[in-house]
Amino acid sequence: MKPNPCLENIAPGYLFPEIAKRRSAYQQAHPELKVISLGVGNTTEPLFDTIADGLVREAQALATAEGYSGYQDEGSAALRQKISEVFYGGRFSIDEIFISDGAKGDVGRLQLLFGAGTPVAVQDPAYPVYVDGSVLIGAGGPHDGTGYAGIAYLPCTPENKFFPDLAKVAPGSLLYICSPNNPTGYVMTRAQLEALVAFANANGAVIIFDAAYSEFIRDKALPKTIFEIAGADACAIEINSFSKPAGFTGVRLGWTALPFGLKYDGGGSVNKAWSRVTATIFNGASNIAQAGGLAALSEKGLQEIRALTDYYLENAHLIKQALEDRGIRTIGGYDSPYVWAQFPGRTSWDVFDELLTKYNIVTTPGSGFGPAGESFVRFSAFGHHADVREACARLAKG
């Protein structure tokens, strides 16, 4: 049996396992040191009561004749309704909201809607799954050391206000946009989103809009969903997740909003095609996780989401301040749990290694997110306050 040639195209060494390896090797060589991870964006704080109670009650109910439930492929109708109300002002019907086991799984599956022949354009830097998932289904080719063949990398840097040069996007492209951005922490303005939607509608592009960090937005002028923009219903698919706002990285729950208004060339319904894809290769999110998600969208649950995201935002502010105090230029950290720090003239892995060995702080090398991430590192605000304070103190000492 031969390997999938698409799989062989993916560069070895997925970013986060490589970080884990370097961290682990360093810790083993220096067992006496306390290494603090501001690397992977993994939540650290316990669930708040209302949300945890939602999970517990459902787990208990499953042991009763009245409360037992089996397959829920399409997701709980109550949860889909609540998501539409809370995040989209009720504008979507429940058949436009698809419950997932988190954003990553849906990123992988969404590419099946368009297939190997689709031109792909990604913000650069970006969450690696957009590109890796595209290569896996054949929409991208071999890696040449900086990027994959056939994928348009759209640098988003301080120089262009983190807005991609859309002239590089071929008509009919699948265009991945993440805002608040992972890794840069940058949040697109309303005007920028309007320009994106106008471009997509004029050029037959479909925007995969990753809004997994939208609950960290505090600035009321910044849109929390692309569907605040007129015309987005005809060109956008939004992916979101309970992972970061509710602390569900381990519980696994997310959703995708896919409006009826999104059509293929020729008028076919993308929504209907997505129903078919998910019915074929996905069996739904855990009923327990779904009950937790419903609890998280209650009035009290939403207060808990606010408190939890506030907690991580406080970390982000501390990290940003500590870096700026050292004269390091940063982006993000205000409406996002990520701080993107620039180290001109140096490689990201070099900075990563220095931060690990000098300050015993784990970060994520920016180059792991794409060529334009080179010379940056990402600081994640997901951590205990005490650890973040200690990391900042180490940075301050110099």
Residues 195-254 that bind a second copy (CB under 8 A): 204-206, 247, 249-252
Instruction: Read off φ and ψ for residue 242, nearest 5 degrees.
Output: -85, -5
- Give the shortest CB-272-to-a second copy separation in angstroms: 9
Complex with a second copy: residue 180 or 383, whichever CB lies closer:
383
Cα–Cα distance, 286 to 271 (Å, whole number) = 22
List 172, 231, 261, 371, residue binding a second copy (CB under 8 A): 172
Size of the site for a second copy (CB under 8 A): 85
Cβ-contact 297, 41 below 8 angstroms: no
Which residues, 59 to 118, sit near a second copy by CB under 8 A? 59-60, 62-65, 67-72, 101-102, 104-105, 107-109, 112-118
DSSP state of 143: B
Tokens 């060529």 appear where?
A: 371
Short-list 153, 144, 143, 162, CA closest to 120: 153
> Cα 238–282–253 angle (5° rounding)?
55
Of residues 42, 81, 298, 342, which one binds a second copy by CB under 8 A? 42
Instruction: Report the nearest approach of a second copy to the CB of residue 327 (Å).
Output: 33
Q: Interface with a second copy includes 40 (CB under 8 A)?
A: yes
Interface with a second copy in residues 251-310 (CB under 8 A) = 251-252, 264-265, 268, 270, 273, 276-277, 279-289, 292
Length of the chain: 398
Q: How far apart are CB 115 and a second copy at their closest, in Å?
A: 3
* Dist CA 398 CA 389 (whole Å): 14
Nearer to a second copy, 6 or 328 (CB): 6
Among 22, 26, 45, 261, which residue sits at the site for a second copy (rule: CB under 8 A)? 45
386 makes contact with a second copy (CB under 8 A): no
Binding to a second copy (CB under 8 A) within 10-29 occurs at: 10, 12, 14, 16-17
Cα gap 283→32, rounded to integer Å: 46
Q: Which of 238, 156, 157 is nearest to 197 (CA)?
A: 238
First and final CA of the chain: distance in angstroms? 54
Dig out the tokens for 284 from the structure.
């739904």
CB of 396 to a second copy, least distance (A): 27
Question: 310 to 349, contacts with a second copy by CB under 8 A?
Answer: none
Q: Which of 22, 26, 35, 52 binds a second copy (CB under 8 A)?
A: 52
Would you count residue 132 as binding a second copy (CB under 8 A)? yes
Cα 181 from Cα 225, distance rounded (Å): 13
